[in-house]
Structure 1
């Protein structure tokens, strides 16, 4: 029996070059190739959405496989089955003939079966004297055997994606619970901070989730929710540290509020001492109101690169090929942007020392994104640096504001 050849349908049913191409792409399986037919069927069921099939198409394929007399698909035994529509309808749980025809066409379109139509369009077989099938007209199952490995790979990928979706959803649920309870605890116990604004951000993140989100949408919401949780914990940590228990609670409230990119109009200093990297009015050691030395605050934690690029898409234009693949490329691009915006090397170096090189690069990306509203990029960066040294600045609110601003536009991620 011939398999893998190009064939056209009987009667008024037309063919297309796409169908011819799919048939030509199916190679004749090796005569020793065998695969358990129900294993292939399970892979097709797993990959159903990727193949564009409905549940009823799977019922029809199941019925077709029941007409194949062997447990394994074996090309040496022939792979054409030839049941009538009435027989197929019974084994496919009694679906109507019109539905049966549509689902058979869908299986052909998905490249899972081939039509082997007879001269008169009927399905039958020619047998020899021993009763063995010599030539059959009906539905050829060769594509299932030829695409065994491909279908298995698709099924594994679908299963892995389902696992990633479930874990992302679980992580978002836990993070959402943490944020909700942390806000409630802070409000009930009178912790300093703009908790009304934090509550509004929390509600906004959840409101932008569709009713049936996909994994990408869940991942975006999770990134933003994790950022919000980090900001809450940073705010509470500043108040719960022993040295801050009796300090000025006002600075903790500024931790969330002092990231307005439109409020700074400080000009860029240009003294010789500044160009050398030292400032007379910025001592290395800070002193509190009681005169005691105040330790330099810990560096700001770096944020996920994908989140930074969603909040600040313009920085990607300065990466290789207009993309950012890693933090090193972001930091290189930040140096270019620094020079373009007229920020002095000393100002950027001080920012790197105060925030860390990754966060300084993120700050430059944020400044670039809002450059039309900032009078002096250098002066603004110096102000952020000073507030970072005093523990009064965090990149989180700035990124959250830009994420919300750019939510309706195009996002370029690594």
Structure 2
């Protein structure tokens, strides 16, 4: 039986579009806030803003990702208890206000506090939005819908580059963080129009609200227990990831996520700076950010469609292998046009490889603990996200910036191995030889 609502009418399709559209805008702001630091970092280092050094810059990038670790780990449990809508609204408000703190910061310590708080909001939003759209996505288009959602993250990355180009030059780096306060205007829209997860409402015993929402859009209620869960139920969701033989699969997903997020956030933080170190001007270095995120948008759509057909873990493993090759090539001096092509293709594979790890976990999870499973996979991967910016800063401070690309490539290779082993285990346990068949059935 399907674990997500079956769409029975055009009005049901309208509900799915409403959820995906609002979540897409929220993730767009998430991407803008996430990438803005990397986009303005070359200028901050040039100006020695707040007395910042290269080593401190890497530390500050890690503060944000540490906050994301906390937010992601808490998100699943909190969302499964208070609801995904409330958590999403709170996360958008938090990272917007935290950007305001960065804009007025008078020291590295205050700026770091702002980035840490922003990270908590950013880390909590993404797995919650993925879980929300998974609830309403058509069964046969689940991975594609998640991929579509994640195009917003990279659209935000592109927007961050243009904010750096158009605003930082005349107004200074603080103005870029004031732009990131603007999503506060979106908070009332999200609070008014985003519906709560039907699976959450039914699981919490709020059946009247669920029936009213289902009736309004002519969708079917998900099959789930209608009783209110016990106080320890949220911990049962986490323990369920380790029962029986599931602990091996869970650890493989966590390790794949660690390497993937080390790669994603290491490159996102240091790409413009490393490219400037190779002799490119700021405008050219920011062009790499645009191409990288354009590749991410294309990659999300291609990977999502391919994953719905061939299985998310299989596509993720192949994509990580291609990513490792592309990132390694960035350490090799090439003609500018060829470098543009490599950066674009690396963006295609890198960003969607990690997203398909989330898709694998989300599609294969039951509604009752989907947010917990995705949140903890994202959260454990955030250790890699913390380590990546720090590693890049340390290598740059030691005068070995070109080794950064090699280190990030090795992280991509390790994720290829872990998610590949997870795919083989899934195929063996399902007895079908096809990793995706079990996942689709579970959804």
Identify the structure with the greater strand proportion.
Answer: 1
Identify the structure with the greater helix proportion.
Answer: 2
Compare CA radii of gyration and give the structure with the larger one: 1
TM-score bracket, normalised by the shorter chain, equals: under 0.3
